[in-house]
Amino acid sequence: MKIKEIKLYEFKELSKESKEIAINKWYEHEDYPFMCEDLTESLKCLLEMNKINEVNNLKLHYSLSYCQGEGVCFTGDFKWKNYNISITHNFHYCHKRSTDINITTQSDNEASDKVYSNFKELYYSICDDIEKEGYEILEYRMSEEEFEDHCLSMDYTFLSNGIMENI
């Protein structure tokens, strides 16, 4: 039987270059498992702040890749002021202008152009806020100190080249 001895290091013991490799490798396969839930919770808060009540089928749609046609929109049935609002997503892309918004009065009459304009401005603003939050989540990277604390708390160890030994 051959026995091979491998020296393992805590993050704080790595060289600057190896620390960089370790952090980059950590984010290489990040899949942001809670992003949809976090953004949906933020959306619900923004709806409440703007006195838009969800009636049915709230759904958040997003695609955040810094490409043309990317962004955030949401759909469902809502009440706002004295209006019934139905928002549907009918396009390939997911951005604030990729929805159809139907607004009616309580007596099912079509809302005025001014009401449409005011609501769309509010809708676009909410979508912009959620999109910004989504990109902030994607762009966030732990500082070296935060990553060191994380590795220590999870008892992660590394090879000298910054490759994590115990994923």
Sequence spans of domains, the chain: 1-167
Question: How large a percentage of the chain has pLDDT more than 70?
Answer: 99
**Tell me: the pLDDT tens digits for 85-118?**
999 998 888 899 999 999 999 888 899 999 999 9
pLDDT, tens digit (0-9, with 9 covering 90-100), for 132-147 = 999 999 888 888 999 9
- The predicted pLDDT at position 36 comes to 92
In what order do the strands lie in the sheet containing 99-105? Answer: 52-63, 71-80, 83-89, 99-105
Buried b (16+ CB within 10 A) or exposed e, 79-107: ebeebbbbbeeeeeebbbebbeeebeeee
- Position 49 pLDDT exceeds 90: yes
Residues 56-84: what's their mean pLDDT? 92
- What's the rounded Cα separation, in Å, for the pair 160 and 102? 60
* Res. 30: pLDDT tops 80: no
Higher pLDDT, 28 or 158: 158
pLDDT at residue 167, rounded to an integer: 58
